[in-house]
Amino acid sequence: MSATAAKPRSKPSWANELLYLARRYPLGVAGAIIMTVFVLAALFAGVVAPLDPFSTNPRASLAPPGSAYLLGADMMGRDVLSRIIHGARISLAVALGATFLGSGFGAALGLASGYVGGWFDLVVQRLGEIMQALPLLVMALVITASLGPSLPNTIIAIAIPLIPNVARVIRANVLSLRELPFVEAAKATGMSELRVAVVHVLPNTLAPLIVLATAQLGSTILTEASLSFLGLGVPEPYPSWGRMLSESAAEYVRTAPWLVIFPGLAISAVVFGANLLGDALRDALDPRQRD
């Protein structure tokens, strides 16, 4: 036994908390690692990417994966790995941006709609139904066509059709929450309606919101792919995973499958990571799941 057995117990509590959560939710940690890797790749794409994603090389056209091109090259001889790394910027910006924007506005609208009720609820829900009657892609098409193709416009175009879906789910949740005794009890303590809605009702809708948002993350990437394919997404030559996938899917899936597989894997990995992280977050944020 050593005399210096006393452990340094002065670890800050948030570090302890983080360590505890990490042990409790190993899958969440895996999700966080996946997302961090992609975000870092996107942030430092210029440093991480082995080659220039824009430089073409006719002799390397459709080069299979090998030492020169780790994940192969596309028809114009551009390095697929570098394009995936640079594409992370656009795909993540679109996926996270559109999801946050759509979920944020949708949640706010759903909360207001469900909590206020009455004619306001009626109007909001009917407008939402009109929007939902149109296919997501058609809506996004119309919006980008009128705003013009650029990254922010693409994010807006993809976010807007998400709003009614989120608003609907949150509204349904709020309708049941607002009848619960603790909402009435909060009013009985003299809180204003707005405060009750934001402090007591909204946090209780977080669980379905997180599940919905992570589920939508994948579809936003694919919507962006469709828009890009139609020339209405983020303009060339900026690579996005969706466009890499959709441009090559029909033509090269047999002859040069790496053009399809690797961007597809990147999309799957992000969706997977986001779902793992989202599930863990949902549980970690609910005090009833702790102890």
Partner 1 sequence: MSSVLEVTDLTTVFHTRRGLVRAVQGVSFTVNRGETLAIVGESGCGKTITALSLMRLLPIPPAEIVAGSVKVAGTDLLRVDDATMRRMRGSEIAMIFQEPMTALNPLITVGRQIAEMVMLHEGMGRAAARRKAVDMLRHVKIPEPERRAREYPHQMSGGMRQRAMIAMALACRPKVLVADEPTTALDVTIQAQILDLIGDLQRELGTAVVLITHDLGVVAEVAQRVVVMYAGRKVEEAPVAALFADPKHPYMRGLLASIPRVGTARGLASMDDRLQEIPGIVPPLNELPPGCAFAPRCKMADARCRAEAPPFEMKAADHAAACWKS
**Which residues contact partner 1 by CB under 8 A?**
180-182, 184-192, 199-200, 203-204, 286-288, 291
Q: Which is nearer to partner 1, 146 or 189 (CB)?
A: 189
Task: Give the pair of three-digit tokens for residue 224.
Answer: 């962006």
* DSSP string of 36-101, one letter each residue: HHHHHHHHTHHHH-SS-SS---GGGTTPPSSSSSTT-B-TT--BHHHHHHHHHHHHHHHHHHHHHH
Choice between 8 and 190, CB closer to partner 1: 190
* Strand (E) or helix (H) holding 111: helix 80-116
**CB of 181: closest distance to partner 1 in angstroms?**
4
Burial of 181 from C-beta contacts in 10 A (0-12 / 13-18 / 19+): exposed
Query: Minimum CB separation from partner 1 for residue 285, in Å?
Result: 8
Q: How far is the CB of 282 from partner 1 (least distance, A)?
A: 12
Task: State the minimum distance, in angstroms, from the CB of residue 290 to partner 1.
Answer: 8
Q: Which is nearer to partner 1, 168 or 200 (CB)?
A: 200
Least Cβ distance, residue 280 to partner 1 (angstroms)? 17
Nearer to partner 1, 76 or 279 (CB): 279
Tell me if 271 sits within 8 A of 220, measured CB to CB: no
Q: Which is nearer to partner 1, 150 or 289 (CB)?
A: 289
Specify whether the CB–CB gap between 285 and 259 falls below 8 A: no
